[in-house]
Amino acid sequence: MAPAPSSTSSAVVLNINGEKHQLTVDHRTTLLDALRERLDLTGTKKGCDQGQCGACTVLVDGRRAVSCLNLAVAAEGREITTIEGMAEGDRLHPVQQAFLDLDGYQCGYCTPGQICSAIAVIEEHAAGWPSAATEDVRPEAGPPPLTPEEIRERMSGNLCRCGAYVSIVQAVARAAGADEAAVGEDDANQGETAKETAA
Amino acid sequence: MTTATTGPTTVKGAVGTAHTRVEGRDKVTGAARYAGEIPFADLAHGWLVLSTVARGRIRSIDTDPVLGMPGVLAVLHHGNAPRVDTDYVGMLGIPPDPTAAVFQNDRVPHAGWPVALVVAGTPEQAREAAEALVVTYDTEPHDITLSADHPDAYPADGHMPAETEKGDLAAGLAASAVVVDEEYTTPEEHHSMMEPHAATALWDGGRLEVVDSNQGTTWIQGELVKMFSLDESSVRVRSEHVGGGFGSKGLRAHQVSAVMAATVLHRPVRVVMTRRQMFSLAGYRSPTTQRVRLGAGADGRLRALEHRSLNQTSTVYEFVEPGAGVARVMYDADAHRTANHVVRLDVPSPTFMRAPGEAPGSFAIESAFDELAERCGVDPIDLRLRNEPEAGPVSGLPFSGRNLAACFNEGARRFGWADRDPRPGVRRDGRWLLGTGTAAASFQAGAGPSTALVTAEADGTFTVRIAAADIGTGARTALTLVAADALDVTPEQVRVRIGDSDFGPAMIAGGSMGTRSWAWAITEAARELRERLALGTSIPPEGITVRSDTTAALGALAQKERHSFGAQFAEVAVDTATGEVRVRRMLGIFAAGRIVNPLTARNQLVGGMVWGISMALHEEAVRDRASGGLYGPDLAGYHVATHADVPDVEADWVDDPDPDDPVGIKGVGEIGIVGAAAAVANAVWHATGVRHRSLPIRPDRVLSATVPAVGGGTDA
């Protein structure tokens, strides 16, 4: 089905969820459209196609990106992770599980973007990245506590018109706590801290 | 998860207990497919072309260059598109919006009117060709400005009578010790659900199949049958997962143009609206200008009430945003007058949007009540409780239940209202002025005729089939719980299938009536099925199926005032140096019938309150008088509340089962937004002493308001 490469299209290899996909794409094709229209990975949603809503959020080399503002041809050589790549077999990612348990959605259309964003938020926070809600941004201050204000600020690029923000923030907080608790089990020295955070 | 529920409704079973969504796993893994995501072989892509002028006639459409572009298959427009019938009344008792009946003539009644559909092999090709299509127009002067004194305004019924009147208003006001007479305005607001409208149409074995995103598959099926003059059995509409609706996902240009293109091209065609196109094709909430006059004794008891509301509609379709309707339910006075008027402008057609009428109407009247409380020196909650009517203020009918006082009492206790200092502008937290506000809420509780099929399968499980729509409400899960109880089995033994017009006629997901209407039909069918199974008949391989139809049962319901009620509370912080308003917390206590699934119902009620925050502070579509179109019609130009705007918002309920509903349901879809914006605006007054009677309360409006002396008041 894929047309041969031409002056308006190119053959690319996209690495998505650990799998290599070979395809010829129109140069105008966004990463979002390549996922949805060419690779049948429709979990990534198109809400605005203008980088304004966050529904198309995926991870590119582990960092959040709106796939509607990235061209597919420019995604070659990157590691792309979509919502379809978050669970390990039947075992949901802790963020997915928390969204399910705490009803962190309604219609579900912004949900894949919210979840991809949340997974990256938890990692960004753990890596010490500050946000506009961080009171003390000096490096020596260390990561700020992941308060609801921090989560809200960091998640604000992802719109949810159903207004499920309250349960989304609860889900992100629970998943972040679960993550830290899991780290704590691996590292006895951090056990106390992890327990406190999870509580 | 505490609830205020203390009453007698303790039925054993699944209803009333929290259940995660049955389709939840599909939604969090990306497996749930929405309308634009179902694959079809040989699929072609349609791209709509919209008018760039606000009024006039199409002079020419230069299709030849576009037809020569790569991949282009067809250009449909008024010169070649199939003719359709618009002279009918649909399932909801209203005619179709001609904006959906595309390409029928050369008239352009507003900016962003659909003038052509370009169909091509790929979305990129269709988009490029659509953008290259040259359309010329003979333009005419346009009028897009809604004003309170517009000379062309007229009374219009919509889904309720235009005007009601009893008593002598002038005498009532003259005899009142305290009078409030103010004008309130609300802006143009857009549904902005996250999933854009999308439909794929194809002819398959003589049958038209439409895979769509809508709020009712038999509704859309019926519209397409009538519009294209087809047999009912030859059209099937499916809509499995729907990324939000809020009133906008009815019959629109995308389905009709997709059907036209599939018919012409003999292959599947998908049409998806762009986000920007949605701002002129998908309906919206009209701006309103409202005048409220309240006359009361010194004790706050009403002697006179007038609520007048004016909204705009298009020149091709009449839609009434009945802002004055809420006063017909909420408050009584010997002199009582309400009126809904509309004016036809050169603007897109407005439509139902979450709590049509109640949302803007409650902002006006609940703000006015706060002003009356201030002027009478009566607590705002006491004022409302003193004015609780015995019966419908206009209808005289008894209420099926009116637990507003219980909502206020429970809400006041939990919000800490008793400690509130009524004086405005006296609380400070650093740069922030703090205030609290409250408002009442009501929304009609109704049901629409529905049919359901319930099957006892040979393996001991049950299948429910009903043309319900789950637009994020959790209906699929709620109906599973209802069916489980009605069949006296566990939810795991019940499979609920929805979103397929082949399941038979059913109410739409709208008017807060979906789950109640469908639950009623399922309960009926399940009861009859149990009676049959009780006879001990063995179940054949195809199962035993019972079909119900609630039309007769609904017709036999006694005439009553049937509504949900609620009490809204908000605390805000206002920075008068930057104009920023932050909501710090909100609490809503609702009397909204029996709650089927507390987990999803709470989420939906909170979602409505979040809409209230958004309406109070953010949402405003601004129309450009020169072009007739909107400034920035997208999600960067049209602001909806995001994470950082939404604090801890809490919703809860009091025991309030509907006595005439088999399950006790009223509905929770819309009550959450009603009164919420007024509670925020009243809190802003309490924080600053400034009344904001125009929404949204933008920073510039806060800044340009005169800061009053402590304890005083002023207007914005």
The full DSSP string for B204-221 is ETTEEEEEE--S-HHHHH
- Measured between beta carbons, the chain A residues lying within 8 angstroms of B642 are 156-159, 165
In tens, the pLDDT along B226-269 reads: 999 999 999 999 999 999 999 999 999 999 999 999 999 999 99
Q: Are residues A141 and A193 in the same domain?
A: yes
Instruction: Decide if pLDDT at A42 tops 90.
Output: yes
- pLDDT for the residue A3: 61
Q: Is B670 a catalytic residue?
A: yes
Averaged pLDDT, B384-393: 98
CB B54 within 8 A of CB B625: no
Confidence label for B415 from pLDDT (cuts 50, 70 and 90): very high
A17-31, A75-89, B11-25, B585-599: least confident range: B11-25
Query: B684 vs chain A: nearest CA distance in angstroms?
Result: 22
In tens, the pLDDT along B660-699 reads: 999 999 999 999 999 999 999 999 999 999 999 999 999 9
B422 occurs within a structural domain: yes
Chains A and B: how many Cβ contacts under 8 Å? 178
Query: A22 vs chain B: nearest CA distance in angstroms?
Result: 19
In tens, the pLDDT along B461-504 reads: 999 999 999 999 999 999 999 999 999 999 999 999 999 999 99
- Measured between beta carbons, the chain B residues lying within 8 angstroms of A53 are 194, 275, 635
- pLDDT for the residue B155: 98
Q: Are residues B545 and B460 in the same domain?
A: yes
Per-residue tokens: A53: 């809503």
Q: Which residue has the tokens 């139809």?
A: B549
- pLDDT for the residue A144: 86
B307 occurs within a structural domain: no
Closest CA relative to residue B447, chosen from B501, B505, B397, B512: B512
Do the Cβ atoms of A92 and B28 come within 8 Å? yes
Averaged pLDDT, B140-168: 97
Q: Which residues contact B491 (CB under 8 A, 6 or more apart)?
A: B14, B19, B22, B480, B481, B484
The residue ranking higher by pLDDT, A143 or B351, is B351
Q: Are residues B615 and B687 in the same domain?
A: yes
Q: Are residues B594 and B545 in the same domain?
A: no
Please give the angle made by the CA atoms of A29, B194 and B470, to the nearest 5 degrees: 120
A154 occurs within a structural domain: yes
A3 occurs within a structural domain: no
Angle between helices B676-688 and B598-617 (to 10 degrees): 50
In tens, the pLDDT along A112-142 reads: 999 999 999 999 999 999 999 999 988 888 8
Per-residue tokens: B564: 């949900």
Across the interface, of A44, A84, A109, the residue whose CB is closest to B244 is A109
A13-27, A170-184, B158-172: least confident range: A170-184
Determine which one of B223, B410, B620, B670 is catalytic. Answer: B670
What does pTM read for this prediction?
Answer: 0.95
Angstrom distance (rounded) from CA B219 to CA B224:
9
The tally of domains found in chain B comes to 2
Whether chain B has a CB inside 8 Å of the CB on A129: the answer is: no
- Measured between beta carbons, the chain A residues lying within 8 angstroms of B27 are 105, 108, 111
Nearest CA in chain A to B650: A166
Q: Are residues A130 and A169 in the same domain?
A: yes
- pLDDT for the residue B85: 97
Q: Are residues B535 and B675 in the same domain?
A: no
Q: Which helix (H) or strand (E) holds B129?
A: helix B123-132
The residue ranking higher by pLDDT, A1 or A96, is A96
- pLDDT for the residue B654: 98
Domain enclosing residue B539, as ranges: 446-555
- pLDDT for the residue B134: 98
Q: Are residues B426 and B505 in the same domain?
A: no
Confidence label for A178 from pLDDT (cuts 50, 70 and 90): low
Confidence label for B714 from pLDDT (cuts 50, 70 and 90): low
Domain enclosing residue A49, as ranges: 9-85
A81-95, A174-188, B296-310: least confident range: A174-188
Q: Are residues A29 and A76 in the same domain?
A: yes
Q: Are residues B435 and B567 in the same domain?
A: yes
Nearest CA in chain B to A132: B644
C-alpha atoms less than 13 angstroms from C-alpha of A79 in its C-beta half-sphere: 6
Do the Cβ atoms of A105 and B124 come within 8 Å? no
Radius of gyration of chain B (CA): 26
The residue ranking higher by pLDDT, B83 or B5, is B83
Per-residue tokens: B45: 């892509």
CB B612 within 8 A of CB B679: yes
Averaged pLDDT, B30-34: 98
- pLDDT for the residue B612: 98
B671 occurs within a structural domain: yes
The tally of domains found in chain A comes to 2
Q: Are residues B494 and B568 in the same domain?
A: no
Angstrom distance (rounded) from CA B11 to CA B485:
9
DSSP state of B559: P
Please give the angle made by the CA atoms of B465, B470 and B476, to the nearest 5 degrees: 50
CB B183 within 8 A of CB B289: yes
Per-residue tokens: B399: 């209420």
Angstrom distance (rounded) from CA B560 to CA B582:
40
CB A16 within 8 A of CB A82: yes
A162 occurs within a structural domain: yes
Per-residue tokens: B68: 């020569």
Query: B51 vs chain A: nearest CA distance in angstroms?
Result: 20
Residues B167, B173, B174, B175: is their CA dihedral positive or negative?
positive
Please give the angle made by the CA atoms of B593, B597 and B598, to the nearest 5 degrees: 80
Question: Between residues 50 and 109 of chain A, which touch chain B (CB distance below 8 Å)?
Answer: 50, 52-53, 55, 82-84, 86-87, 92, 96-97, 99-101, 103, 105-109
Mutate to test the interface with B, among A33, A103, A114, A158 (most CBs of B within 10 A): A103
- pLDDT for the residue A72: 98
- Measured between beta carbons, the chain A residues lying within 8 angstroms of B36 are 46
- pLDDT for the residue A192: 35
CB B553 within 8 A of CB B429: no
Query: A103 vs chain B: nearest CA distance in angstroms?
Result: 7
Confidence label for B713 from pLDDT (cuts 50, 70 and 90): low
Instruction: Decide if pLDDT at B136 tops 60.
Output: yes
The CA distances from residue B672 to A8, B165, B470, B571, in Å, are 51, 29, 18, 16
- Measured between beta carbons, the chain A residues lying within 8 angstroms of B604 are 106, 162
Angstrom distance (rounded) from CA B284 to CA B349:
7
Identify the bridge partners of residue B136 per DSSP, sorted by sequence position: B60
- pLDDT for the residue B708: 55
Cβ neighbours around B541 below 10 Å, total: 7
C-alpha atoms less than 13 angstroms from C-alpha of B511 in its C-beta half-sphere: 16
Instruction: Decide if pLDDT at B509 tops 70.
Output: yes
- Measured between beta carbons, the chain A residues lying within 8 angstroms of B195 are 45, 47, 107, 109
In tens, the pLDDT along B5-15 reads: 434 444 469 99
Query: A151 vs chain B: nearest CA distance in angstroms?
Result: 8
**Three-state DSSP class for residue B541:** coil
Do the Cβ atoms of B604 and A159 come within 8 Å? no
A2 occurs within a structural domain: no
Domain boundary among A67, A85, A103: A85
Instruction: Decide if pLDDT at A190 tops 50.
Output: no
- pLDDT for the residue B705: 87
Percent of chain B, pLDDT > 90?
Answer: 96
Q: Are residues B670 and B575 in the same domain?
A: yes
Do the Cβ atoms of A48 and B275 come within 8 Å? yes
- pLDDT for the residue A4: 74
Closest CA relative to residue B569, chosen from B683, B711, B695, B421: B683
Do the Cβ atoms of A83 and B128 come within 8 Å? no
- pLDDT for the residue B709: 47
Q: Are residues B573 and B506 in the same domain?
A: no
- pLDDT for the residue A191: 33
Residues B368, B370, B374, B378: is their CA dihedral positive or negative?
positive
Nearest CA in chain B to A9: B124
In DSSP notation, B348-404 reads PPP---SSTTHHHHHHHHHHHHHHHHHHHT--HHHHHHHT--SS-TTT-PPBS---H
- Measured between beta carbons, the chain A residues lying within 8 angstroms of B34 are 42, 45, 109
Q: Are residues B511 and B618 in the same domain?
A: no
- pLDDT for the residue B8: 42
A1 occurs within a structural domain: no
- pLDDT for the residue A141: 85
In tens, the pLDDT along B640-661 reads: 999 999 999 999 999 999 999 9
The residue ranking higher by pLDDT, A196 or B61, is B61
What single letter denotes the amino acid at residue B673? I
Instruction: Decide if pLDDT at A55 tops 80.
Output: yes
B239 occurs within a structural domain: no
Angstrom distance (rounded) from CA A125 to CA A148:
13
In tens, the pLDDT along B305-314 reads: 999 999 999 9
Closest CA relative to residue B7, chosen from B400, B714, B607, B595: B595
Q: Are residues B575 and B653 in the same domain?
A: yes
Q: Are residues A67 and A23 in the same domain?
A: yes
CATH of the domain at A59: 3.10.20.30
Cβ neighbours around B88 below 10 Å, total: 13
Nearest CA in chain B to A33: B123
Domain boundary among A30, A50, A85: A85
Do the Cβ atoms of A99 and B28 come within 8 Å? yes
Angstrom distance (rounded) from CA B2 to CA B5:
9
Residues B482, B487, B490, B493: is their CA dihedral positive or negative?
negative
Angstrom distance (rounded) from CA B580 to CA B567:
25
CATH of the domain at A183: 1.10.150.120
- Measured between beta carbons, the chain B residues lying within 8 angstroms of A165 are 610, 641-643, 646, 649
B663 occurs within a structural domain: yes
Do the Cβ atoms of B29 and A86 come within 8 Å? yes
Q: Which residue has the tokens 């690779």?
A: A39
Question: For residues B312, B316, B321 and B322, what is the CA-based torsion angle, rounded to 10 degrees?
Answer: 110
Confidence label for B711 from pLDDT (cuts 50, 70 and 90): very low
Q: Which helix (H) or strand (E) holds A19?
A: strand A19-26
The CA distances from residue B679 to A46, B410, B640, in Å, are 34, 16, 18
- Measured between beta carbons, the chain B residues lying within 8 angstroms of A41 are 30
Q: Which helix (H) or strand (E) holds B61?
A: strand B56-62
- pLDDT for the residue B215: 98
Nearest CA in chain B to A27: B124
Do the Cβ atoms of B30 and A37 come within 8 Å? no
Domain boundary among A85, A117, A135: A85
Do the Cβ atoms of B194 and A105 come within 8 Å? no
Confidence label for A2 from pLDDT (cuts 50, 70 and 90): low
Angstrom distance (rounded) from CA B372 to CA B294:
8
Across the interface, of B474, B607, B644, the residue whose CB is closest to A156 is B644
Averaged pLDDT, B442-469: 98
